[in-house]
């Protein structure tokens, strides 16, 4: 039986010692298939094991005439895949022989870190290839690997020779100095000069970046904050040249970057570590995610380091592309060319072309409105090479931060559109939109709903109006929306806007769209019991048409024209199916404004007890099975209206979010369909204007904003559009005309109205005059009215019948609380009507840079009690306006609060406007002469540079005269900083009461050296940090065996004073948790094993937690083969363990228990927990846990 022979051979191989570098041999899914991992030797430099699969296509031929196919996954290093393809002579080999051949082939690819090819198992190298062949094969190609095969160490061999200590330090110093001279604040953390794990920070105050105040508000950044780039060098500082010489595989362990914001120019060491600590999210494994607070919830801790609104996409971008792009830069391209070439090569492949086309060398036009520090380019500087990597990285980061609206947030290509927006977005590739939404790059709807409910209502209402008038142009395509069937009656109904659309098309020269009938989805007849929320199929279809979680549209005769939209909650008793509470919608053509709350109404009165016998009423349903992208424009518009009508009101969503934890709408499955949620997310995320509610009836209002006077009964929003440098361009225009015309009042204000259905587009595309709805009687330009009533007329009455009482039904979103029926903007315009296209009866302004939007007003018919009427009150400090050109609002001549206008010109540096005279203001620093006040002062007064950051730049060389010589280790006589109070006293742990083991048999010099280095590095951190800041303590003096560390964790009150663990420890007079950490000979390629020695803690089942399992072992994914990364420094590991112990549910002490945990119970608990979670136990675990070789049972896979 050949198959049996194969299985027996496989089992035998599994029990045997596997060939060098091969682990985890397992039977595969298919017959004749097996899988194993290749991890090489500890020094092979592989970051993670490579999974290799071998298949015997016809196992019946085993072991006489079979063949093998051997391959690895796509994400494995290329050289390994290529080498496997070249493995020959495996035919007719046993399983074990095959493993040996693979091991030998791959081992040859990986000379060890020092660049020589000495393998620990020298036999393979010293023996002649002939003998290998003799053993395994008569096929002479067995080990042939072509001579030009790249090795894993292409980069290692070309590496610049290691610099001497002194040269190294002077280079580091020069690099940092370059960044400082360029105008940045520079800091470092860790052991930069000792070539250990270190962080370099480069930062700049946001106020120096020339970002308008509107953009700062839209981006959630504060002018006083610092934008900080943290560069991590896990294996010591690397120069620009060294980094460029690394291939992507070597780069990851040597370099990582994060862009953050913070109140101080430099984060603390803890914060820096945290910034690089990825939080495993349940829905995606995003390696660039960090543990920092997100941009929106920055309020929690004023001083803390936090992510910026754009950190997520930019971190990944920096990590993946900066170094490759720098390579192109060193070939002479500028940023633009290098980025474009990178995109081209990654999307199309190198294409074999040796020559780079000239277009990539074309210089990019400089944007003069940006401050020099944003456009400066180290690569073009006179000083020439060597270049400072931290400076280059910061310049690259700034380019993409300040100019974020010019690039796609996902593919990072420059957007080739003339549209300007204040918030970044994606390009029009549907894949980019898809990733933007799924990776959570955009704003969080939950945050927007909680802080700016009226804005969300406004955005949805605008979209609804636009869709119901079939005016939408961009759609949420690429999101795989499955929507309800499109109502064919509605679809075929004559289009009331046809005339306008054809007019619009002639203006735009757009071809008429071919009308395509939407598909008719199958309808199923069922009986429906309204009280029990069940339906039954009388004729059971062959295939169950729904599953749990499907959304359906149910209609019954009883409910007339209404539709019930609901989620299938249970199909276990098919043909009987249970549904969740339905959402009742009036169907097409029937106005439903009479009952605004109908959308969220419950069909059945809750008080009725369901009848014992089901009462089936005839009903029929269709599934949400229409692919949104298959619809034409009209179909999509109808579909969007229908989905929006199923949404609850913003207030209802707010109430849900206020009650639920986690406050995440994706869990509200029974109320919001996936399609409706995606649509809502798209509406919020695709808005590229900055709109902030002004009225004081919610916490999310613009702080300290006064209402404008003269627009009684309108809801007010502050409103900014255009690129982040739009304000700058506007102010430049204002300044020029003010000087040219000697103006007393530099600007005027006027109204811009547009039909409601246009606003969805206006806030996305900005004002332009290509789309002139109301004709161009007075020439091309943006039309402005002097009285709100005039523009209001445009806004509401441009299309007869569309507004006003008669047909509001199909225009307004039924669950809107605002129920907007007109919208109008107030713009600030250069005071030069004589130079406008026309000034009577309207101002027609042909220069877009002469216009800035300031306010948006909407007129509402709010449902009773949903929007408070606001009392009209003139602002205390009025903004002076040209008396002859003051516009009239709905109720009176408008009075603008000075704070709304002047603040932006003076606030950047904290000055409050004092002068009321515009003429005087011109001369002031904050006036028009000085557009966006770019703060170019020195920060030293407000945020002094740490002495150590200055020292590192200047001090050392002057006091160190002797040339290249091995430096004596610097004496650490630094006084430890104080930090928060702690009850922990270092050095009080009695080591003689602990189970100390001797150095294990598996110790080898490489691993020992590495561990000693880690220990030394920790010791330095410990000496330089406050005890309570670290929260861990190692008595390195007492550690004799590098493979077994004793670590104490303490000061948990610093994490959270209310942790029950803090109280437990206090009660027991225990000041630390004593951990034992054991290392394998393969460290850092396998994780350390961590267990609590004392005190005993409660297991999860007993009400404890903190990732401490029964037996005392720490069970975190990080500490298993599945979650471990060889790049993790022990410092960050300790911090994560401490956080894990405090994480929910936190650890609790087992107060009555006595004694320490034992070695055996801990190891058992660890293995058990790994199995439960499906995590891989590290190879050699048994050896490590017990300090002795594994018993022959083969525990742990090796």
- Helices and strands counted in the chain (H then E): 36, 29
Kindly state the smallest distance separating residue 403's Cβ from Zn ion, in Å. 15
Determine, following the binding rule CB under 5 A, whether residue 432 of this chain makes contact with Zn ion.
Answer: yes
Residue whose CB is less far from Zn ion, 159 or 414: 414
Q: Which stretch binds Zn ion (CB under 5 A): 223-231, 429-437, 607-615, 1139-1147?
A: 429-437
- Does residue 437 belong to the site contacting Zn ion (CB under 5 A)? no
Tell me the closest approach of the beta carbon of residue 435 to Zn ion, in angstroms: 8
Q: CB 390: neighbour CB atoms within 10 A?
A: 26
Stretch that binds Zn ion, among 170-178, 411-419, 1111-1119, 1180-1188 (CB under 5 A): 411-419
What backbone torsions phi and psi does residue 103 show, to the nearest 5 degrees?
A: -60, -45
Asked whether the beta carbons of 241 and 160 are under 8 A apart, the reply is yes
Distance set, CA 150 to CA 42, 110, 247, 1052 (Å): 20, 10, 12, 50
Residue 1000's closest CA among 1039, 1045, 1044, 1047? 1044
The rounded distance, in Å, linking the Cα atoms of 339 and 18 is: 46
Region near Zn ion per CB under 5 A, out of 27-35, 424-432, 656-664, 966-974: 424-432
At closest approach, how far in Å is the CB of 427 from Zn ion? Answer: 3
Task: Name the one range near Zn ion by CB under 5 A: 235-243, 251-259, 410-418, 901-909.
Answer: 410-418
Nearer to Zn ion, 305 or 427 (CB): 427
Structure tokens at 453: 């409910």
Backbone phi, psi, residue 975, to 5°: -80, 130
Q: Which is nearer to Zn ion, 427 or 467 (CB)?
A: 427
Would you say 429 or 903 has its CB closer to Zn ion?
Answer: 429
Give the DSSP H or E segment for 908. Answer: none
Comparison of 432 and 1018: residue with beta carbon closer to Zn ion: 432
Q: Least distance from C-beta 426 to Zn ion, angstroms?
A: 5
Piece of the chain touching Zn ion by CB under 5 A; list 163-171, 220-228, 428-436, 727-735? 428-436
Instruction: Please state, as a whole number, how many other Cβ atoms lie within 10 Å of the Cβ of residue 212.
Output: 26
Q: Are 30 and 119 in contact (CB under 8 A)?
A: no
Binding mask 309-348 for Zn ion (x = CB under 5 A): ----------------------------------------
To Zn ion, the closest distance from the beta carbon of 436 in angstroms equals 8
Please, what is the minimum distance in Å from the beta carbon of residue 410 to Zn ion? 5
The 742-781 site mask, x for binding Zn ion (CB under 5 A), equals: ----------------------------------------
Tell me which residues in 916-935 interact with Zn ion (CB under 5 A): none
* Nearest-angstrom CA–CA distance, 1027 and 1014: 19
Nearer to Zn ion, 442 or 710 (CB): 442
Running DSSP on this structure, what letter comes out for residue 606?
Answer: T
CB 41 within 8 A of CB 110: yes
Residue ranges in 577-606 that form contacts with Zn ion under rule CB under 5 A: none
Closest separation between CB of residue 613 and Zn ion, Å? 58
Q: What is the dihedral of CA 380, 381, 387, 391, to 10 degrees?
A: -90
Segment near Zn ion (CB under 5 A); pick from 350-358, 431-439, 488-496, 868-876: 431-439
Give the shortest CB-31-to-Zn ion separation in angstroms.
44
Report in angstroms how near the CB of residue 761 gets to Zn ion at its nearest. 21
Of 432 and 526, nearer to Zn ion (C-beta) is 432
Given the complex with Zn ion, which of 347 and 613 has the nearer CB atom? 347
**Distance, CA of 917 to CA of 252 (rounded, Å):** 58
Please, how many CA atoms are within 13 Å of residue 559, restricted to the half-sphere of its CB?
A: 24
What whole-number distance in Å separates Cα of residue 866 and Cα of residue 871? 16
Task: Name the minimum Å distance from CB 335 to Zn ion.
Answer: 18
**Residue 260 Cβ vs Zn ion, minimum distance, rounded to whole Å:** 24
Burial of residue 348 (number of CB atoms within 10 Å: 0-12, 13-18, 19+): exposed
Tell me the closest approach of the beta carbon of residue 408 to Zn ion, in angstroms. 3
Q: Which is nearer to Zn ion, 427 or 486 (CB)?
A: 427
- Which segment (420-428, 674-682, 712-720, 772-780) binds Zn ion by CB under 5 A? 420-428
For residue 431, the minimal CB distance to Zn ion (Å) is: 8
Site map (CB under 5 A) of Zn ion, residues 211-230, x = contact: --------------------
Question: What DSSP state is assigned to residue 20?
Answer: T
| Beta partners for residue 715, in sequence order | 858
For residues 322 and 316, give the distance between their C-alpha atoms in angstroms, rounded to a whole number: 10
Stretch that binds Zn ion, among 422-430, 611-619, 635-643, 694-702 (CB under 5 A): 422-430
Minimum CB distance to Zn ion smaller for 262 or for 478: 478
Closest approach, Cβ 429 to Zn ion, in A, equals 5
**Binds Zn ion (CB under 5 A): choice among 397, 411, 684, 1162:** 411
Angle, helix 1005-1024 to helix 1130-1142, in steps of 10 degrees: 60
Using the contact rule CB under 5 A, the part of the chain among 113-121, 432-440, 791-799, 1009-1017 near Zn ion is 432-440
429 or 861: CB nearest Zn ion: 429
Nearer to Zn ion, 310 or 1114 (CB): 310
Minimum Å distance from CB 364 to Zn ion?
19
Cβ closest to Zn ion, residue 206 vs residue 410: 410
Taking a C-beta distance cutoff of 8 angstroms, is the pair 425, 409 a contact?
A: yes
Whether 486 and 627 have beta carbons less than 8 Å apart is answered as: no
C-beta closer to Zn ion: residue 436 or 836: 436
Choose the stretch contacting Zn ion; rule: CB under 5 A; options: 423-431, 448-456, 821-829, 894-902. Answer: 423-431
Which of 10, 325, 427, 583 touches Zn ion (CB under 5 A)?
A: 427
What's the start-to-end Cα distance of the chain, in Å? 28
Residue 1178 contacts by C-beta under 8 Å, 6 or more apart in sequence? 1080, 1082, 1086, 1087, 1089, 1120, 1121, 1124, 1184, 1196
Contacts to Zn ion from residues 370-409, by CB under 5 A: 408
Whether 1165 contacts 1113, CB under 8 Å: yes
Alpha carbons 254 and 262: distance in angstroms, whole number? 25
CB of 685 to Zn ion, least distance (A): 14
- Closer to Zn ion by CB, 179 or 427: give it: 427
Query: Contact at 8 Å (CB) between 1049 and 1141?
Result: yes
Q: Which residue has the tokens 């981006």?
A: 219
Strands (E), 98-225: 185-190, 198-205
DSSP 8-state symbol, 933: -
Q: Tell me the HSE value of 191 on the side-chain side, using a 13 A CA sphere.
A: 24
- Reduced to 3 states (helix: H, G, I; strand: E, B; else coil), residue 556 is strand
Counting residues that bind Zn ion (by CB under 5 A) gives 6
Q: Which is nearer to Zn ion, 410 or 845 (CB)?
A: 410
Considering the complex, what minimum distance in angstroms separates the CB of residue 723 from Zn ion?
A: 18
Q: Considering beta carbons, is residue 474 or 513 the nearer one to Zn ion?
A: 474
Cβ proximity to Zn ion: between 410 and 1184 the closer is: 410
Smallest distance from Zn ion to CB 75, Å? 23
Residues 6 or more apart in contact with residue 955 via CB below 8 angstroms = none
Q: Distance between CA 697 and CA 692 in Å, rounded?
A: 13
What is the strand order of the sheet 1073-1078 is part of? Answer: 1032-1034, 1044-1049, 1073-1078, 1089-1094
For the segment 1127-1156, give every residue that binds Zn ion (CB under 5 A).
none
d(CA 326, CA 324): 5
Residues 876-905 that bind Zn ion (CB under 5 A): none
Binding site for Zn ion (CB under 5 A): 408, 410-411, 427, 429, 432
């Amino acid at each position: 039986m050949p198959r049996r022979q194969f299985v027996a051979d496989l089992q035998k191989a599994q029990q045997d010692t596997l060939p060098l570098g091969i682990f985890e041999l397992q039977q595969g899914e298919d017959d004749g298939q097996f899988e194993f991992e290749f991890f090489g030797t500890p020094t092979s430099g592989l970051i993670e094991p490579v999974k290799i699969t071998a298949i015997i296509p016809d196992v019946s031929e085993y072991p006489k005439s079979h063949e093998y196919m051997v391959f690895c996954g796509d994400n494995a290093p290329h050289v390994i895949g290529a080498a496997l393809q070249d493995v020959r002579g495996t035919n007719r080999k046993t399983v074990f022989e095959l493993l040996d051949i693979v091991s030998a082939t791959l081992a040859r690819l990986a000379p060890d870190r020092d660049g020589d090819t000495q393998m620990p198992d020298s036999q393979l190298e010293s023996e002649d290839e002939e003998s290998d062949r003799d053993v395994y094969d008569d096929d002479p190609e067995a080990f042939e690997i072509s001579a030009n095969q790249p090795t894993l160490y292409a980069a290692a061999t070309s590496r610049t020779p290691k610099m001497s200590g002194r040269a190294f330090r002077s280079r580091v110093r020069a690099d940092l100095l370059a960044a400082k001279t360029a105008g940045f604040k520079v800091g470092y953390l860790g052991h930069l000069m000792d070539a250990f794990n270190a962080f370099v920070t480069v930062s700049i105050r946001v106020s120096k970046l020339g970002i308008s105040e509107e953009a700062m508000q839209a981006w959630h950044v504060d002018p006083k904050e610092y934008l900080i780039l943290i560069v991590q060098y896990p294996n010591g500082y690397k120069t620009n040249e060294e980094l460029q010489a690394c291939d992507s595989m070597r780069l990851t362990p040597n370099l990582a970057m994060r862009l953050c914001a913070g109140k101080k120019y430099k984060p603390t060491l803890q914060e820096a570590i945290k910034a690089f600590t990825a939080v495993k999210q349940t829905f995606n494994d995003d390696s660039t995610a960090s543990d920092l607070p997100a941009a929106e919830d920055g309020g929690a801790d004023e001083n803390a380091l936090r992510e910026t609104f754009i950190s997520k996409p930019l971190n990944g971008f920096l990590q993946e592309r900066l170094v490759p792009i720098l390579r192109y830069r060193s070939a002479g391209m500028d940023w633009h060319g290098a980025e474009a070439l990178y995109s081209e090569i990654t999307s199309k492949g190198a294409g074999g072309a040796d020559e780079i086309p000239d277009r990539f060398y074309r210089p990019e036009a400089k944007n003069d409105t940006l401050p020099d520090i944003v456009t400066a380019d180290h690569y073009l500087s006179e000083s020439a090479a060597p270049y400072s990597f931290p400076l280059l990285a910061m310049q690259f980061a700034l380019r993409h931060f300040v100019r974020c609206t010019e690039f796609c947030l996902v593919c990072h290509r420059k957007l080739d559109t003339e549209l300007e927006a204040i918030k970044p977005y994606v390009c029009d590739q549907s894949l980019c939109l898809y990733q933007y939404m799924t990776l959570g790059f955009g704003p969080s709807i939950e945050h927007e709903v909680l802080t700016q409910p009226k804005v969300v209502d406004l955005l949805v209402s605008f979209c609804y109006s636009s869709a119901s008038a079939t005016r939408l142009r961009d759609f949420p395509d690429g999101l795989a929306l499955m929507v309800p069937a499109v109502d064919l009656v509605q679809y075929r109904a004559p289009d009331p806007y046809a005339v306008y659309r054809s007019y619009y098309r002639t203006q735009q020269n757009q071809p008429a769209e071919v009308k395509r009938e939407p598909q008719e989805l199958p309808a199923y007849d069922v009986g429906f019991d309204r009280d029990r929320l069940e339906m039954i199929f009388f004729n059971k279809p062959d295939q169950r048409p729904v599953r749990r979680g499907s959304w359906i549209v149910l209609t019954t005769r009883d409910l007339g024209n209404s539709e019930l939209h609901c989620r299938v909650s249970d199909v276990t008793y098919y043909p009987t199916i249970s549904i969740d509470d339905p959402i009742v919608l009036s169907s097409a053509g029937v106005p439903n404004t009479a009952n605004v709350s109908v959308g969220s109404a419950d069909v059945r009165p809750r008080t009725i007890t369901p009848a014992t016998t089901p009462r089936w009423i005839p009903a029929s349903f269709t599934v949400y099975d229409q692919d949104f992208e298959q619809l034409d424009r009209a179909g999509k518009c109808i579909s969007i209206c229908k989905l929006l009508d199923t949404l609850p009101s913003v207030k209802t969503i707010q109430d849900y979010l206020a009650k639920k934890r986690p406050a995440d709408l994706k869990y509200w499955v029974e109320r919001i369909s996936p399609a409706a949620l995606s649509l809502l997310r798209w509406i919020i995320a695709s808005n590229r204007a900055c709109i902030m509610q002004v009225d004081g009836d919610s916490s999310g209002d613009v702080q300290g904003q006064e209402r404008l006077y003269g627009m009684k009964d309108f809801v007010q929003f502050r409103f900014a559009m255009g690129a982040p440098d739009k304000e700058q361009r506007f102010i430049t225009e204002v300044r020029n005309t003010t000087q040219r015309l000697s103006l007393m009042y530099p600007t005027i204000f006027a109204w811009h109205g547009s039909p409601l259905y246009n606003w969805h587009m206006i806030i996305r595309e900005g004002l332009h005059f290509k789309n002139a709805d109301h004709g161009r009687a007075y020439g091309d330009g943006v039309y402005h009215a002097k009285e709100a009533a005039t523009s209001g007329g445009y806004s509401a009455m441009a299309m007869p019948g569309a507004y006003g009482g008669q047909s509001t039904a199909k225009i307004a979103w039924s669950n809107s609380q605002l129920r907007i029926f007109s919208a109008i903007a107030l713009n600030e315009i250069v005071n030069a009507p004589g130079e406008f296209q026309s000034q009577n009866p309207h101002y027609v302004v042909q220069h877009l840079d002469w216009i800035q939007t300031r306010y948006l007003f909407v007129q509402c018919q709010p449902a009773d009690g949903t929007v408070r009427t606001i009392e009209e009150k003139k602002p205390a400090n009025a903004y002076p306006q040209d008396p002859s050109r003051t516009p009239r609002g709905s109720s009176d001549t408008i009075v603008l609060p000075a704070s709304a206008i002047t603040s932006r010109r003076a606030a950047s540096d904290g000055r409050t406007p004092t002068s009321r005279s515009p003429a005087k203001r011109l001369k002031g620093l904050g006036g028009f002469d000085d557009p966006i006040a770019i703060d170019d002062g020195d920060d030293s007064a407000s945020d002094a540079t740490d002495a150590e950051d200055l020292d590192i730049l200047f001090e050392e060389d002057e006091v160190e005269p002797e040339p290249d010589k091995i430096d004596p280790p610097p004496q650490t006589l630094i006084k430890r900083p104080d930090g928060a109070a702690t009850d922990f006293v270092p050095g009080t742990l009695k080591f003689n009461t602990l189970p100390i083991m001797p150095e294990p048999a598996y110790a080898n010099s490489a691993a020992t050296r590495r561990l000693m280095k880690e220990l030394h590095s920790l010791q330095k951190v410990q000496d330089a940090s406050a005890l309570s800041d670290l929260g861990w303590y190692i008595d390195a003096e007492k550690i004799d065996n590098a493979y077994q560390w004793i670590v104490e964790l303490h000061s948990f009150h610093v994490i959270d004073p209310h942790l029950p663990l803090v109280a437990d420890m206090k009660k027991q007079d225990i000041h630390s948790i004593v951990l034992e950490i054991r290392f394998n000979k393969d460290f850092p390629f396998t994780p350390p094993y961590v267990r609590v020695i004392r005190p005993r803690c409660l297991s999860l089942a007993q009400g404890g937690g903190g990732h401490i399992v029964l037996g005392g072992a720490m069970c975190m994914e990080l500490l298993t083969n599945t979650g471990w990364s060889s790049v993790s420094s022990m410092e960050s590991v300790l911090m994560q363990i401490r956080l894990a112990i405090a994480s929910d549910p936190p650890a609790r002490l087992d107060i009555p228990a006595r004694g320490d945990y034992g070695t055996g119970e801990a190891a058992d608990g660890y293995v058990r927990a790994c199995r439960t979670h499906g995590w891989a136990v590290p190879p050699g675990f048994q050896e490590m846990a017990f300090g002795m070789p594994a018993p022959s049972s083969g525990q742990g896979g090796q």
